[in-house]
Homo-oligomer: A and B are copies of this chain.
C-alpha cells in the first residue's frame, strides 16, 4: 500500500477516536463597517484557518482597556454582524477587564474596549469575552462520537500536563472542521503543543 494511502487511513482512524486541539491566541472579529473605519478598507486574508472560510487577516489592531493595551492583535475574517474580542482571563487582568466566559457570539452585557487601527478608532460598548472552550464538529464526526450540537461534554487531553476539561461546548455544523479550541490559559494549563489530541469522554 502506498505511503499516502496509509496516511489517509491512519488519519481516518484517528478522527474516529480523537479530536485535534488548537490554541486560540487573543483575537478580534469586526463588522465590515468597523474594518473600514480602522483600516480604510475590507479585511484582506493573510492565511486560512482550520475552520473552512475563516482567515487570519493581514490587518492588525490595538486593543485598549482601562489598565493596559495589546498591540498587533490578530483580526479574523470574514467580517461578522457584531464585533467580538476574544481574550484569556490572564489578558483581561492586563487590560483591567473581567471578560465573562461565554460561547462565541454571546456578548450581551460583556465589557467593552477601544480598538485602534491605522485609520481610526472604534469604541466598543461590549464584546470582550473569554471564549468558552468548545469543539467544532462536522455532522459526521458528531454522529460517530455520539454527541449533538450545544451538548456540553468532558474533553480529556493527551498533553504534557494532562487534564480533563469539563464544560466543553460542542458545536456541530457542516460549515465546520473538527477541532477543539482552547484559549491560552487552558493551553498552558495542559501544556499543549501543536498536534496534540483530545478525546470526548462518554
**Residues of A at under 8 Å CB distance from B?**
88-90, 101, 133, 154, 160-167, 184-186, 188-191
Cβ–Cβ contact A164 & B161, under 8 A: no
Complex Cα gap A90–B90 (Å): 9
Main secondary structure of the interface of A (DSSP, over half): mixed
Cβ–Cβ contact B191 & A90, under 8 A: no
Expressed in whole angstroms, the minimum distance between the Cβ of A181 and any Cβ of chain B is: 13
Complex Cα gap A133–B165 (Å): 16
B-chain residues with CB within 8 Å of residue A190 when the two chains form the complex: 189
Query: 29 A-B pairs, CB-CB below 8 angstroms?
Result: A88-B188, A89-B188, A89-B191, A90-B90, A90-B184, A90-B185, A90-B188, A101-B160, A101-B161, A101-B191, A133-B161, A161-B166, A161-B167, A162-B166, A162-B167, A163-B163, A163-B164, A163-B165, A163-B166, A163-B167, A164-B164, A164-B166, A184-B185, A185-B185, A185-B188, A185-B189, A186-B189, A188-B189, A189-B189
Nearest-CB residue, chain B, relative to A154: B164
Complex Cα gap A133–B161 (Å): 9
Nearest-CB residue, chain B, relative to A190: B189
Complex Cα gap A90–B94 (Å): 12
B-chain residues with CB within 8 Å of residue A165 when the two chains form the complex: 163
